[in-house]
Amino acid sequence: MLATKLFFPTLKEDPAEATLISHKLMIRSGMIRQVASGIYNWLPLGLRVFQKTENIVRQEMNNIGGMEVMMPCVQPIELWEESGRWNDYGPELLRFTDRHNREFCMGPTHEEVVTDIVRKEISSHKELPLTLYQIHTKFRDEIRPRFGVMRGREFTMKDAYSFNLDEASLHESYSDMRNAYINIFNRVGVEFKIVDADSGSIGGSSSEEFNVLADSGENALALSEDGSYAANVELVPTFKLENPPPSPTMEMELIDTPGIYTVAGLEDKIGLPAFQGTKIMLVHAADWTKEKPSLIGLLLRGDRSLNYVKAEGLDEVKVPLTMASREEVTDIVGCPPGSIGPVNLKIPVIGDYEIAGLSDFVCGSNQNDKHYKGVNWGRDCPLPKLADLRNITSGEPSPSGGGNLTVRRGIEVGHIFKLGDKYSQSMNSFVTDDKGEKFPILMGCYGIGIDRVMAACIEQNHDDKGIIWPREVAPFAVTIIPLPLNDSEVMTKAKQLYDSLTAEGIEVLFDDRDLRAGNKFNNCDLLGIPLRIVVSSKSLQQKGLELKERAKDDPEIIPLDNAMNIIKDKLASY
């Protein structure tokens, strides 16, 4: 393709709205432009990479016998009421009404629709197993769309669904899908980890996430030293302490802490180590209503973070987990957040297991700008009900042996679930066997975010000059830059090479733009095309071409008469 014919508006500077490197580079290289919060246009260069990623996914789905379908983005309320998710899904589900006052939603996922296809068309076990998939638009009204297409509201997902008669067959479909995912992410050129995961609002019994390792990732992954344990931190259990706390050495004392509302603040001002402090999060209790708001306190050691999945697992806590507002806290507890603690607190408290090991600790006093220090369980305040509430941290032992855990950041790019009969039971999707006995169809569901995979790929494959695309997803394999454009021998040789490469099915961007060489080189680095070839009068005098691999620093001169073979070899090994 001629660069003069390609619409790729590039930017020299980082866009102000982007913080993440992949977001910056996708905008700067002219791949995407924002339309509204979390909603993007894909411009031609971006779409080339998008379609390559999509095709890798499609090929691997077809290889395991998946059959492609296309389901609608707009879904009727009736199906969601049947599955029970019209109530359960929460505000990420974008709901609307048509001109006849019928209610619909924009599909955030397609379990309901696909189950409806199968229950209507399949009645005999002989028609199973079956795997259907689509690569299509999803809409989720994310509370915080951010990082460009990494967490968009409208995005494209490959979602596949397997339908199986029994556990063994479900397991086989799941394993095939797992292997297909491994192939996909290897071909896309990302380093990833497969971890055990929470099943979230999709439901089901077990699931694994594919995470691309990146410091910018929103997921925390706990990985054991010997590689035998890998789980999303959301799932890693912590246990009751075996030893009682040390005996008290201090009296409880009320101290002035004006303007200090965090553990870090207490650490700075009174030299308290964070593990000696406590923090309490006030969340909506299970019986919370707008008319009668009720709260519950979740108490943790000061240096720990609350695990939302574990908190949502408590009967006393409202799902989805909702932090109390400042007004609710002030109304119900009589003091604003930041000075709240378990001593004489008016609302119920559940403590993390670890707080049982504290003595002489510091906590809020339920009076503004004051804390207690020297607090001890039993003497000053009854030990609350305990539960596993916190996130594990690096250096703690792996729950299954195999050394200590390291916590690393990851971007979730794929998620595979064994759903079991959750949707078949609620939506009445059954088959009969040879004896006429009815069985609920077992299901698996399997997602990959195409947009997010691309962003994650850039997070892992870039340098300070731009993107370094892995071979299979690069928008072009080669750029040819003829220098100067008005040298007829240069142009002839450059065009010959372009034609020969194109005839071999190699995608080439021919930079015929009337720009300074330096600009073209910078552009080429920004776009991340694997091979750059400069055809210049100087190189032709040496009967050669200048070739530079994007991932390497220095160019090399290759002989003109063997250029095709060398380029093909380089691409094969890139």
Contacts of 22 (CB under 8 A, 6+ apart): 147, 148, 150, 216, 454, 455, 456, 458, 459, 462
Q: List 438's β-bridge partners, or say none.
A: 432
Q: List 146's β-bridge partners, or say none.
A: 151
Which member of 148, 203, 217, 447 binds ligand ATP (CB under 6 A)?
A: 447
Q: How far is the CB of 185 from ligand ATP (least distance, A)?
A: 11
Distance, in Å, from the CA atom of 450 to the CA atom of 97, rounded to the nearest integer, reads 29
Residue closer to ligand ATP by CB (options 151, 304) is 151
Residue closer to ligand ATP by CB (options 143, 168) is 143
Which member of 65, 200, 382, 397 binds ligand ATP (CB under 6 A)?
A: 200
Distance, in Å, from the CA atom of 551 to the CA atom of 277, rounded to the nearest integer, reads 49
451 binds ligand ATP (CB under 6 A): yes
Angle at 457 between CA 451 and CA 462, to 5 degrees: 130
Which member of 142, 312, 316, 360 binds ligand ATP (CB under 6 A)?
A: 142
Residue closer to ligand ATP by CB (options 41, 262) is 41
Number of residues forming the site for ligand ATP (CB under 6 A):
17
| 358: nearest Cα among 249, 433, 434 | 249
Number of CB atoms found within 10 A of residue 472's CB? 15
Please give the residue whose beta carbon sits closest to ligand ATP in the complex. 449
Distance, in Å, from the CA atom of 109 to the CA atom of 73, rounded to the nearest integer, reads 9
Number of CB atoms found within 10 A of residue 228's CB? 12
Residues 166, 431 contacting (CB under 8 angstroms): no
452 binds ligand ATP (CB under 6 A): yes
Q: How far is the CB of 394 from ligand ATP (least distance, A)?
A: 21
Q: How far is the CB of 154 from ligand ATP (least distance, A)?
A: 8
Residue closer to ligand ATP by CB (options 155, 192) is 155
- SS3 call for 77: helix
Phi, psi dihedrals of residue 67, rounded to the nearest 5°: -120, 130
Half-sphere exposure of 226 (CA within 13 A, CB side): 8
Among 148-156, 225-233, 286-294, 336-344, which window interacts with ligand ATP (CB under 6 A)? 148-156
Residue closer to ligand ATP by CB (options 454, 526) is 454
Q: How far is the CB of 416 from ligand ATP (least distance, A)?
A: 9
140 binds ligand ATP (CB under 6 A): yes
Per-residue mark of binding to ligand ATP, 388-427 (x: CB under 6 A): ------------------------xxxx------------
155 binds ligand ATP (CB under 6 A): yes
| 446: nearest Cα among 236, 218, 210 | 210
Residues 342, 363 contacting (CB under 8 angstroms): yes
Residue closer to ligand ATP by CB (options 64, 135) is 135
Per-residue mark of binding to ligand ATP, 95-124 (x: CB under 6 A): --------------x---------------
Q: How far is the CB of 211 from ligand ATP (least distance, A)?
A: 9
Residue closer to ligand ATP by CB (options 200, 273) is 200
Residue closer to ligand ATP by CB (options 371, 415) is 415
32 binds ligand ATP (CB under 6 A): no
Q: How far is the CB of 151 from ligand ATP (least distance, A)?
A: 4
Residues 170, 164 contacting (CB under 8 angstroms): yes
Q: Given 3-state DSSP classes, what are the helix, strand and coil percentages for the chain, each rounded to the nearest 5?
A: 30, 30, 35
Among 48-56, 235-243, 378-386, 441-449, which window interacts with ligand ATP (CB under 6 A)? 441-449
Residue 119's alpha-carbon distances to 163, 254, 374, 426, 444, in angstroms, are: 10, 65, 63, 12, 15
Residue closer to ligand ATP by CB (options 446, 498) is 446
What is the separation of C-alpha 428 from the centre of its chain, rounded to a whole number of angstroms? 32
Q: List 447's β-bridge partners, or say none.
A: 159, 415
Contacts of 370 (CB under 8 A, 6+ apart): 254, 255, 256, 257, 339
Contacts of 336 (CB under 8 A, 6+ apart): 326, 329, 330, 368
Number of CB atoms found within 10 A of residue 52's CB? 19
Distance, in Å, from the CA atom of 41 to the CA atom of 34, rounded to the nearest integer, reads 6
Residue closer to ligand ATP by CB (options 40, 372) is 40
Joined together, the tokens standing for residue 433 give 């066997």
Distance, in Å, from the CA atom of 284 to the CA atom of 297, rounded to the nearest integer, reads 9
Joined together, the tokens standing for residue 181 give 């995912």
Joined together, the tokens standing for residue 6 give 């390609």
Residue closer to ligand ATP by CB (options 209, 267) is 209
Among 339-347, 397-405, 449-457, 485-493, which window interacts with ligand ATP (CB under 6 A)? 449-457
Q: How far is the CB of 141 from ligand ATP (least distance, A)?
A: 10
Q: If you search the block for the tokens 């690096």, which residue do you land on?
A: 394
Residue closer to ligand ATP by CB (options 352, 459) is 459
Residue closer to ligand ATP by CB (options 157, 477) is 157
Among 295-303, 354-362, 445-453, 562-570, which window interacts with ligand ATP (CB under 6 A)? 445-453
Phi, psi dihedrals of residue 417, rounded to the nearest 5°: -130, 140
Q: How far is the CB of 92 from ligand ATP (least distance, A)?
A: 8
Which member of 24, 151, 187, 279 binds ligand ATP (CB under 6 A)?
A: 151
Q: How far is the CB of 198 from ligand ATP (least distance, A)?
A: 8
Among 255-263, 397-405, 448-456, 493-501, which window interacts with ligand ATP (CB under 6 A)? 448-456
152 binds ligand ATP (CB under 6 A): yes
Residue closer to ligand ATP by CB (options 209, 354) is 209
Residues 162, 170 contacting (CB under 8 angstroms): yes
Please list every residue from 320 through 359 that binds ligand ATP, using CB under 6 A. Answer: none
Residue numbers of the site for ligand ATP (CB under 6 A)?
109, 140, 142, 151-152, 155, 157, 200, 412-415, 447-449, 451-452
